Amino acid sequence: MDDAEFLGQATNLVNDLEAAFRNVNAAERGGWRALEIGCGSGRLMRPMSRHFFEIHGVDPSPIRAAQAKDNLADIPNARVHVSEDGGLPALDGLTFDFIYSLDAGFNAWPWLQRSLRQGGLARLRFSGNTRADVLEFAASHDLQVLALEGGWTTWRKRAPGWSASLTVPAADSNIVRITNAYSSEPVAPCRGRFASIAVRAQSLPPDAGLQHLRVTIGSSFGAVTSIGEPDRAGVRVIHADLPELEATGLLPVQLLWLDRPLSPPVSLRVIPPGPSVPRLLGIHRRPGTRTVTMTIEEVARPHEIQVTVGGRSVADLEFKCSDPRPQRYDVSFHLPEEIGPGLHHVHAIIGRRKLPSVPIEVD
C-alpha cells in the first residue's frame, strides 16, 4: 500500500477526531500527549501525530502492533505498544491529554481512569449504545459530555464528585445568534434531516455538558449534540437537533442549566420541511446467502417501497430504521428463486418515485 492510499483511508475518521479539539489553541495542543486505544496498523496515528508533542498507540495484537511500528518508522514522536488484557506497564505513570478509539466504547474507561489527565479530552466511537446509555455512564463516572453525534462522543475528565457539586451560575448567558447547523441561515425546518440549529452563546458555565445543558424550542426540548470550546470572544457553539415540531413561525429558543433558565429567549424562524428526496446510499449481499440489504434515506413511508430484481418482484421486505432524523432505512429481502448466478439490476420504487437501478452480482 502506497502512502497516498494509506492516508486516504483515514481522512474521514481523522476529520471526526479533530472535531474534538478544533477550538483548542494550537500552541497548547502542541504540547499534548495523545493515546490511541486499538491502533491497529497505525493508519490514524500517522495523520494525528502532527497535532501532538507525543502520540502513543496500543493494540492487543503483536502482529498489528509490528505493522504499526513499520508504518510509523519515520514519525519520531510516535510510539507503539502491545497491550494484553488491558495492561501496559510501559505506560504506567504516563498521563495523556487526549485519548481516542474507534471501537473501545465503555471498555475504554479503565484507560481513561488511570491514564487521562484531569481536564483531558477523550473521543470515542460507540456502536449499539443509546444516547441515554452514554449519558448515564458519563454521569456515573464524573465525565463531562461535550459531544454525542453520529456514534461519536467527546468527554472531558473531571474530578471525583464534580457533577454533584455543580451550582447555578450567578451571571446569565447570552445567546448571540442562532442559525441552521448546516448553513448560516437563521431558519430551521420543523423536522427532517436539516432540523438542527447552532446556538452561539456567551458566558456559558465552563462545566457545561450534555447532561446538564438543555435547549428549548417553543415548549419542546431539543437534543443537544455538541458544545464547542470557547473562541477568543468567549463564544461557544451549541448544536441541537429539533424535536418533531408541529408548530412553525417564530418560536422562542432558550438555554437551561440544571433545569433553570440560563439565557433570555431568542426567536428562531421555524418553517415547514421541504419535500423528501429519497436516495439509495448503498446495497450489499450478505456473504454466502441470498439476503440483500439496501440503505435508503428520506423515506417518510417505508411501507410504500417496492423492489424488483431482474424484473422479478420481491416479496416480504423487512424494514429497519437506522437513523430517524434523515429517515434512513435498511431494507432487507431474499432474492427471488428465479434469480440465478450473474449480474442483475435492482430497482426500488417509492410511491411514484423510481430510484436509479443498481447492479448486484449473484453467485
Domains of the chain as residue ranges with CATH: 3-163 (3.40.50.150), 174-271 (2.60.40.10), 279-362 (2.60.40.10)
Residue 1 Cα distances to 49, 73, 141, 161, 186, angstroms: 20, 15, 41, 49, 46
- The pLDDT averaged over each successive group of 10 residues in the chain (363 residues) is 54 82 73 91 90 92 92 94 68 86 82 87 84 87 88 89 83 90 94 92 90 93 92 91 92 93 94 89 84 90 91 90 84 91 91 89 85
User: Is the Cβ–Cβ distance between 115 and 88 less than 8 Å?
Assistant: no
C-alpha closest to that of 101 among 11, 13, 28: 13
Cβ neighbors of 34 (< 8 A, separation 6 or more) are 48, 51, 52, 54, 55, 56, 96, 97, 98, 99, 100
Do residues 357 and 347 touch, judged by C-beta distance below 8 A? yes
